[in-house]
């Protein structure tokens, strides 16, 4: 299991600033979010995409996923090509309604043709997970998989963890933990420890992305990613000194 950073924690940062922040915190990769300051997206030139991918991998902090703005973007041929170019899956967010399985399978065919992978985001409802896994099993090999959004603010996740992991099985490729990092202390007693234990026992080898629960914690995340005196993206005056590496969730 790899702890990685979602760019939701630093939406204005460039790719190089994000890589530096991950190095300071000992985080092992990046989950990119569409439209953020890293500048990577489906419309980017393939040569530039290759440059960005190699730069991240060269720093030992690979791009592990790209979270699309919406399902329209996620299901597009351009996003499928982006997945292949980054060698990382595209996450299709939930947009409220449930997409028909035919739409999922059509998107899977697009990704299979491009050589990419599409991840279907879900919450902690086992019935939702079962429905999506059914689509995964009908899709071409490695074209579809699952991405779990864990929200401790919605309640204790320990109860859902066992059932979600059982139903998802090997189809689970990515997890985003809302409210990790500097917010973690607020979620004590919400089952995060039990979730981590279950993931370890099951041998989960995907990414666990740390992300803010809401944008109002922007300043706390900025400080957590840089130094105690504060840190801002794009600042030429940023202090390059290292802080203590920490692979824990807090």
pLDDT tens sequence across 88-142: 999 999 877 788 999 999 999 999 999 999 999 999 999 999 999 999 999 999 9
Q: What is the mean pLDDT of the chain?
A: 87
3-state DSSP assignment of residue 210: strand
pLDDT given for residue 189 in this prediction: 65
The predicted model gives 131-158 an average pLDDT of: 92
With the CA atoms of 234, 247, 220 and 69 taken in that order, what torsion angle do they form, in degrees rounded to the nearest 10? Answer: 70
Percentage of the chain modeled with pLDDT above 90: 68
pLDDT at residue 48 is higher than 80: yes
Model pTM score = 0.87
pLDDT at residue 250 is higher than 70: no
Report how far Cα 199 is from the mean position of its chain's Cα atoms. 16
Q: Among 12-16, 128-132, 162-166, 182-186, where is mean pLDDT lowest?
A: 182-186
- Contact at 8 Å (CB) between 189 and 226? no
Measured distance CA(141)–CA(144) in Å, rounded:
7
Higher pLDDT, 160 or 189: 160
pLDDT band at 190 (very low <50, low <70, confident <90, very high): low
pLDDT given for residue 179 in this prediction: 87
pLDDT at residue 46 is higher than 80: yes
For the packed helices 46-58 and 15-25, what is the interaxial angle rounded to 10 degrees? 20
Residue whose pair of structure tokens reads 């969730």 in the numeric block: 249
pLDDT band at 187 (very low <50, low <70, confident <90, very high): low
The predicted model gives 56-62 an average pLDDT of: 97
The predicted model gives 226-245 an average pLDDT of: 42
Radius of gyration of the chain (CA): 18
Taking CA atoms, 158 is separated from 150, 154, 165, 190, in Å, by 11, 12, 11, 7
- Which residues partner with 148 through β-bridges? 122, 175
């Amino acid at each position: 299991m790899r702890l990685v950073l979602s760019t939701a924690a630093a939406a204005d940062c460039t790719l190089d600033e994000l890589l530096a922040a991950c190095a300071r915190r000992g985080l092992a990769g990046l989950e990119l979010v569409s439209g953020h300051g890293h500048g990577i997206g489906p419309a980017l030139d393939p040569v530039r995409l290759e440059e960005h991918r190699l730069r991240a991998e060269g720093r030992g902090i690979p791009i592990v996923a790209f979270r699309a703005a919406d399902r329209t973007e996620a299901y597009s041929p351009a996003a499928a090509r982006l997945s292949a170019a980054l060698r990382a899956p595209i996450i299709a967010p939930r947009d409220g309604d449930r997409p028909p399985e035919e739409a999922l399978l059509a998107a899977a065919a697009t990704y299979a043709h491009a050589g990419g992978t599409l991840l279907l985001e879900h919450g902690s409802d086992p019935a939702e997970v079962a429905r999506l896994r059914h689509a995964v099993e009908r899709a071409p090999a490695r074209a579809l998989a699952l991405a779990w959004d864990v929200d401790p603010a919605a309640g204790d996740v320990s109860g859902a963890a066992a059932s979600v992991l059982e139903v998802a099985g090997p189809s689970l490729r990515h997890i985003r933990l809302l409210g990790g990092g500097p917010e973690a202390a607020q979620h004590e007693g919400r089952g995060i420890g039990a979730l981590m234990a279950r993931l370890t026992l099951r041998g989960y080898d995907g990414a666990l992305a740390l992300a803010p629960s809401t944008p109002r914690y922007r300043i706390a995340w900025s400080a957590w990613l840089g130094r105690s005196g504060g840190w801002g993206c794009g600042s030429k005056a940023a202090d390059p000194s290292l802080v203590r590496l920490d692979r824990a969730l807090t």
